[in-house]
Amino acid sequence: MVDFKRGIEELPKGSQILHEPLLNKGSAFSLKEREALHLNGLLPPRVLTIEQQKNRILENFNNKHNDLEKYIFLIALQDRNETLFYRTITDEIEEMMPIIYTPIVGEACQKYGHIFRRPRGLYISKNDKGNIRNILKNWSNDNVDVIVVTDGERILGLGDLGANGMGIPVGKLSLYTACAGVNPARCLPIMLDVGTNNENLKNDPLYIGLTEDRIRGEEYDSFIDEFMKETNEKFPDAIIQFEDFGNHNAARLLDKYRNRYRMFNDDIQGTAAVTLAGLLSSQRITKRDLEDEKILFYGAGTAGIGIANLYVTALTKKGYSKEEARSRCWFVDSKGLVVSSRKNLSQDKLPFAHEYYEKKDLSDIIQAIRPTALIGISGQANAFSKNILELMKDINDYPLVFALSNPTSSSECTAENAYKWTRGKCLFASGSPFDSVEIEGKIFIPGQGNNAYIFPGVGLGIILSKAEVISDDLFLAAAETLSNLVSDEELSSGQLYPSIKDIKKVSKEIAITVAKKAFSEGLTNMAIPQNIESSLDRIIYNPVYPDYI
């Protein structure tokens, strides 16, 4: 573990410290530090500040020809100087977040084997079964706060990318630090390589993973069981965050492990919380209550079911029965409207399968159901056509249109089309960022329903409280806090979420709320701190260089 408080005599010397990303300061090492650490002659003679270094980074960043080159440039910076990396992306978060995460991380994962430079985190393959404990021992830092893990089967809306999916845990953990100040030295990305069914990857000579088919059934389950058991023993205080597992595994693994380990699935619970926050924010404009919404989900995978379940939780807190709450949620999957007469429905869809006619055409469904909110989590680009959005406008004074699929190429509609085809009436949110839109002289700033508003703050609150179980109530509390942080000015321009530039403040407020909730609900054995905010300030990482002398 990196310990900035240890004596300078214990630090690596010479070129060795220059190759330690968490210790390296590059040209910012002082003259005294250069003398003590044997760096004279290994660096140019001029000492620069971190601000001067950042300006150089931004100049080079802006000279890159495309966004993928910018991604590669930033990852290379992270590999050599993490403090400067986090200082840069924290200060320039609005510009940098789309590069280090959605939408560009999707393209990066597709080409991961071709742009691979230096490994980060741990790769644990199906061939390591029975030996996972020893693989985990190879991670030198025993003090881990957050683990983000994927098996690469459903990367964003891009499908099975196998071991190339490592870009997701790496990117998510970068956001933990940039958005909430989680110490990067205490973060661990893990790729579980259980094979791939992507034939293009299997035939790619530069693919970095196993080229065998994915394991399934008992073989897969026993592998994940071993991973969870050994990881919990090796890193007992760590949050284990699941990312981009296939629909047939994501929800059932969450149900299996959620009460046994300190874990959650961001695609299910994080997406649910950020979407619910958008619904709550919209009430200040629509003057509707949460129970007044009738939600049509276009896509019935784990993300959509997760949103509906959290919506149901929110209504039951207001005194409604689960049946009453579920009656307000309707789903469309690849076979059409999810109704009770359909055969072979999965268990997670059954509670939302209403007694109604079978319908397949989305416009027919909207005309029949008359939803107030249309939420896209299908991965089907341009599914919300002009006809669909005009229907939503005709039915509602303020139609809610959430096109949440990532990356941008998979979005159900663009912000421009949503505003244009509803004549500026809709309240819009998307998974990936879109530029502002002018309609009839008014500027609309699309809200981005980015999970980064939720999981970093939730994680920080869990780190502080050491909650043993990460319950849905914590995500409900996070959603309510997020919606309350949207200003009137932001709402007036169409934003259902706070500005990304304020995301560190947002994450801290969510962390305070989550920690208080964990203490009040008895989810932790820790004594509540006298001052939760001060306790958070003591553990929040700030990207400034330490003085070694």
Helix, strand, coil shares of the chain, percent, nearest 5, are 50, 10, 40
User: Tokens 């949440």 — which residue?
Assistant: 404
The answer to whether 183 touches 145, Cβ cutoff 8 Å, is yes
Which one of 71, 86, 101, 257 is the catalytic residue? 101
Look up residue 286 and give its amino acid.
T
The residues, ordered by sequence, that sit 6+ positions from 448 with a Cβ below 8 Å of its Cβ are 429, 430, 431, 432, 433, 434, 497, 500
Look up residue 32 and give its amino acid.
K
Which one of 70, 172, 234, 393 is the catalytic residue? 172
Active site residue 101: yes
Ramachandran region of residue 244, left (φ > 0), alpha (ψ -120 to 50) or beta? left
Rounded Cα gap, residues 148 and 157, in angstroms: 19
> How many CA atoms lie less than 13 Å away from 282 in the CB half-sphere?
29
Please count the other Cβ atoms lying within 10 Å of the Cβ belonging to residue 187. Answer: 25
Active site residue 172: yes
Smallest CA-to-CA distance from 461 within 528, 508, 531, 502 is with: 508
SS3 252: helix
Rounded Cα gap, residues 365 and 358, in angstroms: 9
Q: Are strands 187-193 and 442-444 parallel, antiparallel or unpaired?
A: unpaired
The residues, ordered by sequence, that sit 6+ positions from 409 with a Cβ below 8 Å of its Cβ are 103, 106, 157, 381
Active-site residues, by number, are: 101, 172
